[in-house]
């Protein structure tokens, strides 16, 4: 298992053009060639280390890609202008018209909408299944199936995929396992557990400053080059390329990822335990009560913890909204979608990030109206955060009066 993701990132050594400690930023869309022959060869894809045009690759994007490959322990990685840019490129690269996908039913709303609605244009169908039920997953595979797709820890229900077991299933059927590892960077080394392609929305924990949108695909060099192929690479031809300036800025933020993940995990574990002991319905993979607790524990790099996401069900959408507004007024965090920020972010997924999923399907998968998703921040005094949060809940009658804390 790759327990060395963080160390590997820090071991990478870069020198800027003038000996700077950060690599120089490539500020060009196009590159000169000393000979016309080299330009031709570069178009053909046979010249290592030559840059052609920044939609294809740029030095800054390659540096960030190297760090992401080190994070997941893959041969290579490509970076994209968004997580969805990465996801759509991978799917379109692996599937042809008429093909079939077996996907977890609890996935990011945008991914769900892409598979369910957009791929219809190509007569591509998806079976959305309970990814924790390996028998259902296996029975859903048909001769047309081109991939098994899931999130290591799912959005927003925090279901945990058994990556090693899914990988064995995929291998047996000769199809790739594609894992979106956005919720659990460092904690879960998806590629080391057998995923063939690992996707990240860099927008979230990896960048960690909520100032940009970006994505990545970590995979074999062969697959990363296929995505970039000038003739039939989905990444190259859809054009969801990350800007070099932004790639350089994400690389700098990524160097503190290990410290941030540990703190996110510690703070979330503390709050999850407290609120569960108060009798609230808390979902957090770090709690023994969570259905995926054992699976997570068996496949995690334990020093990074169970991640920064938890949910609390407060009973109704009205109550969820009232609590979120009050928590924002009390400066506990922001009523905002997304995750991985230094401040806590909260939203009600049923009416926001997962609203693409029809009501009856939401109910079937256990996505209730009163569910609040928390991305817990890097609060220095989590005890104080806990007290303030608890007082908000008492004020709204979610917790009983005698719980009010001074
Ligand atoms: C946010 C998110 C995405 C989409 O990423 P963008 O950078 O917003 O395009 C995909 N998967 C998961 C799990 C996410 O949380």
pLDDT values of the chain reduced to their tens digit, one per residue, 406 residues: 445 677 788 888 888 888 999 999 999 999 998 888 888 877 776 566 778 899 988 999 999 999 999 999 999 999 999 999 999 999 999 999 999 999 999 999 999 999 999 999 999 999 999 999 999 999 999 999 999 999 999 988 899 999 999 999 999 999 999 999 999 999 999 999 999 999 999 999 999 999 999 999 999 999 999 999 999 999 999 999 999 999 999 999 999 999 999 999 999 999 999 999 999 999 999 999 999 999 999 999 999 999 999 999 999 999 999 999 999 999 999 999 999 999 999 999 877 777 777 888 787 777 888 999 999 999 999 999 999 999 999 999 999 876 555 5
C-alpha of residue 154 to centroid of ligand 1, in Å:
11
Among 89, 29, 33, smallest CA distance to 59 is for 29
Q: How far is CA 173 from the centre of its chain?
A: 26
Task: Identify the pLDDT of residue 17.
Answer: 86
Which residues, judged by CB distance below 6 Å to any ligand atom, belong to the binding site of ligand 1? 82-84, 108, 110-111, 151, 155, 180, 182-183, 201, 203-204, 213, 215
C-alpha of residue 346 to centroid of ligand 1, in Å:
16
Residue to substitute in 155, 201, 349, 356 for testing ligand 1 pocket (most ligand atoms within 8 angstroms of CB):
201
Q: Where do we find the tokens 């005698």?
A: 402
C-alpha span between 69 and 73 (Å, rounded): 6
Give the helix/strand (H/E) hosting 214.
none
CB 14 within 8 A of CB 23: yes
Task: Identify the pLDDT of residue 405.
Answer: 59
Residue of minimum CA distance from atom 11 in ligand 1: 108
Contacts of 67 by beta carbon, 8 Å cutoff, 6+ apart:
9, 12, 251, 254
The number of the ligand 1 atom at minimal distance from the alpha carbon of 85 is: 9
C-alpha of residue 236 to centroid of ligand 1, in Å:
20
Q: Where do we find the tokens 């030095």?
A: 59
* Helix, coil or strand: residue 35: coil
C-alpha of residue 97 to centroid of ligand 1, in Å:
25
Residue to substitute in 68, 79, 83 for testing ligand 1 pocket (most ligand atoms within 8 angstroms of CB):
83
C-alpha of residue 82 to centroid of ligand 1, in Å:
8
Reading the block at residue 393, the tokens are 């809940």
Task: Identify the pLDDT of residue 1.
Answer: 43
CB 403 within 8 A of CB 287: no
Task: Identify the pLDDT of residue 81.
Answer: 98
CATH of domain 258-405: 3.90.1150.10
Q: Where do we find the tokens 């219809």?
A: 120
C-alpha span between 60 and 248 (Å, rounded): 6
C-alpha of residue 309 to centroid of ligand 1, in Å:
14
Across 32-176, the runs of DSSP E, i.e. the strands, are 76-80, 100-104, 125-129, 145-151
C-alpha of residue 405 to centroid of ligand 1, in Å:
37
Contacts of 262 by beta carbon, 8 Å cutoff, 6+ apart:
303, 304, 305
Phi, psi of 354 (to 5 degrees): -115, 15
Residue to substitute in 84, 156, 247, 250 for testing ligand 1 pocket (most ligand atoms within 8 angstroms of CB):
84
Task: Identify the pLDDT of residue 4.
Answer: 67
C-alpha of residue 16 to centroid of ligand 1, in Å:
31
C-alpha of residue 180 to centroid of ligand 1, in Å:
9
**Domain boundaries, given as residue ranges, for the chain:** 3-254, 258-405
**Whole-prediction pTM:** 0.95
Residue of minimum CA distance from atom 7 in ligand 1: 83
Report how far apart, in Å, the C-alpha atoms of 242 and of each of 42, 54, 259, 269 are: 20, 9, 25, 34
Is 3-254 assigned to CATH 3.40.640.10? Answer: yes
The number of the ligand 1 atom at minimal distance from the alpha carbon of 182 is: 13
The number of the ligand 1 atom at minimal distance from the alpha carbon of 214 is: 7
Residue of minimum CA distance from atom 2 in ligand 1: 201
C-alpha span between 399 and 406 (Å, rounded): 15
* Helix, coil or strand: residue 360: helix
Task: Identify the pLDDT of residue 51.
Answer: 87
């Amino acid at each position: 298992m790759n327990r060395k993701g963080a160390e590997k990132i820090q071991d990478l050594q870069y020198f800027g053009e003038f000996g700077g400690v950060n690599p120089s930023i490539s500020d060009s869309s196009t590159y000169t060639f000393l000979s016309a022959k080299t330009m031709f060869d570069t178009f053909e894809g046979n010249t290592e280390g030559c840059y052609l045009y920044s939609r294809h690759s740029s030095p800054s994007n390659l540096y960030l890609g190297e760090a992401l490959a080190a994070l997941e322990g893959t041969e290579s990685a490509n970076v994209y202008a968004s997580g969805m840019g990465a996801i759509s490129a991978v799917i379109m690269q692996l599937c042809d018209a008429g093909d079939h996908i077996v996907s977890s039913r609890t996935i990011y709303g945008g991914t769900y909408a892409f598979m369910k609605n957009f791929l219809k244009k190509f007569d591509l169908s998806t079976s959305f299944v309970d990814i924790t039920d390996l028998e259902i997953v296996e029975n859903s595979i048909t001769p047309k199936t081109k991939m098994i797709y899931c999130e290591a820890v799912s959005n927003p229900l925090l279901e945990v995929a058994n990556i090693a077991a899914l990988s064995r299933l995929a291998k047996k059927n000769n199809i790739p396992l594609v894992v979106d590892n956005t919720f659990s960077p460092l904690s879960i080394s998806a590629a080391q557990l057998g995923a063939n392609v690992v996707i990240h929305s860099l927008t979230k924990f990896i960048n960690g400053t909520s100032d940009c949108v970006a994505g990545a695909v970590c995979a074999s060099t062969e697959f990363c080059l296929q995505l970039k192929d000038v003739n039939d690479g989905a990444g190259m031809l859809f054009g969801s390329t990350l800007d070099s300036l932004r790639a350089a800025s994400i690389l700098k933020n990524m160097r503190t990822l290990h410290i941030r993940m540990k703190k996110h995990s510690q703070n979330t574990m503390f709050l999850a335990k407290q609120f569960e002991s108060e009798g609230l319905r808390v979902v957090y993979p770090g709690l023994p009560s969570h259905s995926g607790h054992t699976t997570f524990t068996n496949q995690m790099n334990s020093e990074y913890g169970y991640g920064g996401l938890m949910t609390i069900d407060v009973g109704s959408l009205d109550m969820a909204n009232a609590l979120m507004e009050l928590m924002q007024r009390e400066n506990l965090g922001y009523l905002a979608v997304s995750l991985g920020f230094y401040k806590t972010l909260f939203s009600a997924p049923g009416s926001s990030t997962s609203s693409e999923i029809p009501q009856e399907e939401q109910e079937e998968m256990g996505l209730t109206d009163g569910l609040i998703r928390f991305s817990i921040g890097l609060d220095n005094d989590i005890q104080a955060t806990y007290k303030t949060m608890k007082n908000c809940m008492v004020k709204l009658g979610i917790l009983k009066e005698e719980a009010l804390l001074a």
